[in-house]
Amino acid sequence: MSEGTSPRKPADGEDPGERASDQVIRLDSQREQRRGGGNPAIDDDGLESPVAPQPVAEAPSAQPKPAAVTVAPPAPARPRRSRARPVLFALLPIALVAGGYYYVVGGQIMTTDNAYIQAQSLGVSTDVSGTVQEIDVHDNQAVKKGDVLFRLRPASFETALAGAKAQLGTVRNQVLTLQASYQQSLASIDQAEADIPYYESAFQRQQDLLKTSTASKATFDSAQHDLVAARQKVTVAKAQAQAMLAQLGGDASQPVEQNPFYLQAQSAVDDAQRNLGDATVKAPFDGIVTNVDALQVGKYLPASQPAFSLVSSTDIWIAAEPKETELTYVRPGQKATISIDGYPGEVWHGTVGSISPASSSSFSLLPAQNTSGNWVKVVQRIPMRVTIDDPDGKPPLRGGMSAVVSIDTGHARGLPDFVTDLLKRFEQKS
């Protein structure tokens, strides 16, 4: 029975089977109309339109009509079971076993990306003041050890050197004079000592004559005075010789170049020579100069003021700061693999050089902990230095570039703690 139709009572003498067949035929015709474009008398909601013509019922016939045979639609075919499911179930335990194996034997590589390239850098300066006369390098130029970087005006330094050398010559002459005077003092001592026997004999003669009253008292006093004066002259000559010997450093026969006065004058010459040499500034190591434009010809450069910077191209290392929890099995001497963000695909090899004895925050002026009683635990980072073993033939490394360091600690992760505890308990029970 379709929607919008009401059951019809059978007429007198009408066969019920015939009535049922008519209803089946009517329903089949309505279905066909809907499949072929829809029944014009039925709207979209399945309700009967008021203006649609009513279907005309067929007149009953005297003879019974055969019942319509409805053909049931074919049953849908059962979907074939996918073969991927048993394959996945079979691969699941294999994947679990493989994953567990790699978990147990893995974990020996410690990797940190908190690492940067560091290079020895120097603010090029000199310990003498002067006016810049010439600059022999340009910005970002590679230099070798001993190459001239810039020069100061040398006139004042040359004048000071000439004066120091003149003073050295004067001191040399003074030392030679002291040596000659010392020899003269020695001769005066000998002469004074040679006169003493004469004055002693004269005094003895006058003393004998005075006993016999042959000589006067005045003559005796004069002879006595001459003897005392002769002896005093020897004492004075010896004192003068000793003073000169002290000026000669206690050794009158030593070379002039070893005399203290001469050495003092020589040091002044050397200092003046050093100042003149420092007026020409040279590279202390191989590297690249930068910020050269900050120095100009004619500028007065005070002593110890940096003119520009020199960054080493050979003394380069990796400054890494891994977490404290990552340094459990890291030791100096372990091998490391280094990759630089600026050079994808390139790999450097290095060695753990040293590990800092304290965290980075320990050296800060204002530590993280305060005195208010509030304490927040933060994972600390420990500075670590990694040397680069194979910089030759690689792209140039520059200070401050980001790096990733992987260190082979040689210590596998091992079984989880709870599995280890279970195995120990099992061994104890067995």
Q: Mean pLDDT, consecutive 10-residue segments, the chain of 430 residues?
A: 46 51 61 55 45 46 52 60 76 82 76 94 92 94 94 94 94 86 81 80 77 75 81 83 80 82 92 94 94 93 93 92 91 94 93 92 71 71 93 88 93 75 79
| DSSP helix/strand/coil, 369 | coil
Give the residue among 318, 317, 320, 316 at the shortest CA–CA distance from 114.
320
Range of the domain at 58: 1-72
Residues 268 and 168 in one domain: yes
Contacts of 23 (CB under 8 A, 6+ apart): 1
Q: Are residues 332 and 420 in the same domain?
A: yes
Q: Which residues neighbour 18 within 8 Å (Cβ) at sequence distance 6 or greater?
A: 60, 64, 65
d(C-alpha 358, C-alpha 323), whole Å: 12
Q: Is residue 80 one of the residues assigned to a domain?
A: no
Look up the CATH number of the domain holding residue 334.
2.40.30.170
Give the bridge partners for 350, in sequence order.
336, 388
- Name the DSSP letter for residue 363: G
Report the interhelical angle of 217-247 vs 155-211 (nearest 10°). 160
Q: Is the dihedral of CA 33, 38, 40, 45 positive or negative?
A: positive
Residues 183 and 269 in one domain: yes
- Same domain as 113, residue 68: no
Is residue 236 included in any domain, yes or no?
Answer: yes
Sheet containing strand 148-152, edge to edge, reads 280-282, 148-152, 130-135, 300-301
Q: In which residue are the tokens 């005066």 written?
A: 188
Closest CA to 338 of 394, 407, 428: 407
Contact 171, 261 (CB under 8 A): yes
Output the six-digit token pair for 428.
């104890």
**Does residue 261 contact residue 191 with C-beta atoms inside 8 Å?**
no
State whether 190 and 264 are in the same domain.
yes
Which of 274, 300, 331 terminates a domain? The answer is 274
Which distant-in-sequence residues (6+ apart) come within 8 Å of 250 by Cβ?
Answer: none
What string of DSSP letters covers 28-92?
HHHHHHHHTT--TTB-TTSPBPTTSPPPPPPPPPSSPPPPPPPPPPPPPPPPPPPSHHHHHHHHH
User: CA-CA distance, 426 to 303, in Å (whole number)?
Assistant: 77
Quote the Cα angle for 232-237-240, to 5°.
Answer: 125
Rounded Cα–Cα distance for residues 317 and 327 (Å): 19
Give domain status of residue 146, yes or no: no
Lookup: tokens for 304: 């110890």
| Residue 168 sits in the same domain as residue 113 | no
> Do 320 and 424 lie in a common domain?
yes
> What is the rounded CA–CA span in Å between residue 311 and residue 375?
41
Report yes or no on 210 lying in a domain: yes
Cα–Cα separations (whole angstroms), residue 24 to 9, 48, 57: 16, 19, 13
* One domain for residues 330 and 270: no
Same domain, 320 and 242: no
For 106, the token pair is 């893995």
The reply to whether 266 and 333 lie within a common domain is no
- Alpha carbon distance 12, 24 (integer Å): 20
Q: How many domains does the chain have?
A: 3
119 closest CA partner among 309, 362, 305 = 309
- Spatial CA neighbour of 290 closest among 68, 60, 122: 122
CA-based nearest residue to 260, from 141, 201, 174: 174
Residues 179 and 229 in one domain: yes
Question: Residue 55 phi/psi, 5° resolution?
Answer: -70, 140
Residue-level pLDDT at 128 = 94
Q: Is there a domain that residue 227 lies in?
A: yes
Asked if residue 262 and residue 188 are part of one domain, the reply reads yes
Query: Quick check: helix, strand or coil at residue 121?
Result: strand
Q: Give the DSSP letter of residue 294.
A: G
110, 330 contact by CB (below 8 A):
yes
* Pairwise CA distance, residues 167 & 164, whole Å: 5
Q: Judge whether 412 lies within some domain.
A: yes
CB distance 114 to 134 below 8 Å? no
What confidence score (pLDDT) does residue 367 get? 65
Is residue 260 included in any domain, yes or no?
yes
d(CA 168, CA 299): 34
In a domain? residue 124: no
DSSP, residue by residue, 47-64: PBPTTSPPPPPPPPPSSP
**The predicted structure's pLDDT at residue 416:** 74
DSSP 278: H
